[in-house]
Structure 1
Amino acid sequence: MLRFRGTFVLVSTLTALFVASAGIAHQAMAQGKDVVVLAAASLKNALDEASADWARKTGKTTRISYAASSALARQIEAGIPADIFISADVPWMDHVAERKLIKPASRSDYLGNQIVLIAGKDSRIDLRIGKGFDLRGALGSDGRLAMGSVEAVPAGKYGKAALEYLGVWSSVADRVAQAENVRMALTLVSRGEAPLGIVYRTDAASDPAVRIVGAFPADSHPAIIYPMALLSTSANPDAQAFVDYLKSPAAKPFFERQGFAVLN
């Protein structure tokens, strides 16, 4: 098992992420047909399936770049060419909206989610999530709690808020392994590098190597809402068509199977 010293922060170079995503976007725009989507990492399984279904039905294609909503918002602010942004929380959509980088009329609250505490599938950890629950004790003598960055990644922010509400944040703050996005937090638990993690219910459903220990009360953190909008620079007529498809009954099952609540 990997041993952590202090707070372990998984940090990628934002420049590299921007360059990789920009390459995807520039290639798509050069082809003049692909819809370029910037989407929260937690959407990958469901959105990939929905995109493939749309391609089969219409013959049109997408190019999707997944990352933490914070990283995607900064890429948009830096001018990356893309058509659609789907954020894992409202504040990062507000961030780009305040800078007039989306088409306001296109914005909608698209999906809802939950945060859960996970462990490895063979773990015997048994906790009842509630006020003052012994999360630190469950981590053992040197175990870490995997979470998205609590300052930037939506799942990390929701997780910290929930732990503060439940009165246990101060007991585990120095034992948190912060990841650059929620899927990396999931991977730490899946690979046995952290005994526990906080991720979305949809992430837990995507990985058979983990199990849900418990769900955090809905009133312990801000409502988890995924807003979606067209970017102000998008001129691709197929972008609105893809948004319409995502909101249609045809796409709904892909998201519901992963555990999302379809709001719009």
Structure 2
Amino acid sequence: MIRLVSRLLVAALLCGAAISPTLAQEKTLTVFAAASMKNALDDVDAAYLTKAGVKINASYAASSALARQLEQAAPADVFLSADTDWMDYATQKKVINESTRVNLLGNKIVLIAPKDSKIANVTIGQGFNLAELAGDGRIATGDVASVPVGKYAKAALEKLGAWDKASSKFAMAESVRAALTLVSRNEAVLGIVYETDAKVDPGVKIVGVFPADSHPAIIYPVAATTTAKPDTAGYLDFLRSSAARTIFEKYGFTVLTRPST
């Protein structure tokens, strides 16, 4: 009898060892998120792990790059874009569960300079001469053809009548964080990034804020992918919770949804 019990215990332990990796996998979600989300979303994801026991593996890049990766069948459960255009693109490619889509966050674009720059207190308005302000230096932002922050920046400068003179001075970066780094390292004299990015890098300072009506509204939509795991629904709910709202607002985002819990 003792031997039989021992064998049963060993069998149970072996079964548990075989099952546990599967259980661990079920409690992991992959999130594709705009580069500008990193600091805030890392904190939100840590809070969700504590609350729900689900680990979030976040991949950060320009929304354009992430949408194209999803199109190529990259495995992900959630897509969080920095603009509606790339969420629309992913939806058209049938990789997004459109019924789960919500406009989660808002943001602002700002003009930044290295922290030790003499440039300060720039009034950004009609006739704003960005080219003259930059002098012989470069201006960093995301690629204006694809990266959301670059698209917002170009739209604003065109409306303000500043694009034509300044366009040749731009250093187009692959993401907003790459543009931020160029300014922080003094490789660009000015940059146009999101306000939330500028606030997390001590190497830069905000010298001007673009008027909200100078560019399309900055909206961050989020949605589950068509291949999302069942646990994804709980995570999307948490992104709209009071706990997540507190974190997002701490980093300077505007929360566009009502708390779910």
Question: Do the two structures share a fold, i.e. TM-score over 0.5?
Answer: yes
Give TM-score, length-normalised by structure 2.
0.88
Asked whether the equivalents of residues 28 and 34 of structure 1 are also in contact (C-alpha less than 8 Å), the reply is no
Letter in 2 for 1:33: K
> Helix, strand or coil: the match of 1:177?
strand
Moved over 2 A (4+): 27-33
The reply to whether residue 84 of structure 1 matches residue 78 of structure 2 is yes
2:132 to 131, 134, 137: 137
Q: CA deviation at 1:100?
A: 1.8
CA contact (8 A) 1:42 1:183 kept: yes
**How many percent of aligned residue pairs carry the same amino acid?**
56
1:115 aligns with 2:109: yes
Aligned counterpart, 2:235 = 242
- Structure 1 CA distance for aligned equivalents of residues 137 and 170 of structure 2: 9
Q: Is the 8 A contact 2:119 2:207 kept in 1?
A: yes
Q: Does the CA-based 8 Å contact 2:27-2:53 persist in structure 1?
A: no
**Which amino acid is 1:240 matched to?**
A
- 1:147 alignment counterpart: 141
Distance 2:251 2:165 in 1: 32
TM-score, structure 1 normalization: 0.87
Structure number with bigger Rg:
2
Q: 1:190 aligns with which of 184, 189, 201?
A: 184
> For residues 170 and 157 of structure 1, what CA distance do their matches in structure 2 show?
15
1: distance between equivalents of 2:189 and 2:139?
7
Name 2:31's counterpart in structure 1. Answer: 37
Secondary structure of residue in 1 paired with 2:231: helix
Residue among 216, 219, 232 paired with 2:213:
219
In structure 2, relative to structure 1, the CA distance for the partners of 1:69 and 1:125 (3 Å cut) is: same
Identify the match of residue 96 of structure 2 among 97, 102, 119.
102
What's the counterpart of residue 174 of structure 2? 180
Aligned residue number for residue 65 of structure 1: 59
| Equivalent residue in structure 2 for 1:261, among 247, 254, 259 | 254
Matched residue type, 1:78: Q
Give the one of 29, 48, 51 matched to 1:54.
48
Q: Which amino acid aligns with 1:245?
A: F
Give the length in aligned residue pairs. Answer: 236
Whether 2:163 is the aligned partner of 1:169: answer yes
The DSSP-based 3-state class of the residue aligned with 1:237 is coil
Deviation, 1:31, is: 2.8
1:130-176 CA-partner distances (Å, limit 9, x unpaired): 11122111112x20000100000000000000000000100111110
Q: Which amino acid aligns with 1:148?
A: G
Asked whether the equivalents of residues 28 and 36 of structure 1 are also in contact (C-alpha less than 8 Å), the reply is: no
Change (3 A) 1:59 1:29: closer
Please state whether the residue corresponding to 1:146 is helix, strand or coil. Answer: strand
Determine if contact 1:28/1:63 at 8 Å carries over to the other structure.
Answer: no
Counterpart residue number, 2:14? none
- Provide the rounded CA distance (Å) in 2 between the counterparts of 1:185 and 1:158: 14
Alignment partner for residue 251 of structure 1, among 235, 244, 248?
244
> Secondary structure, in 3 states, of the residue corresponding to 2:226?
coil
Once the two structures are superposed, residues 169-217 of structure 1 have per-residue CA deviations (whole angstroms, 9 ceiling, x without a partner) of 0011111000000000000001111010000000001111111111101
Structure 2: segments with no counterpart, 5+ residues: 1-20
Letter in 1 for 2:128: F
> What per-residue deviation string (whole Å, max 9, x for no partner) do you get for residues 34-77 of structure 1?
11100000000000000011111222201000000000000000
* Aligned partner letter, 1:253: T
Secondary structure at the residue paired with 2:182?
helix
* 1:62-105 Cα shifts (integer Å, max 9, x gaps): 10000000000000000011100000000100001112211111
In the alignment, structure 1 segments of 5+ residues that lack a partner are 1-26
1:128 to 102, 116, 123: 123
- Report if aligned partners of 2:180, 2:198 keep a CA contact under 8 Å in 1: yes
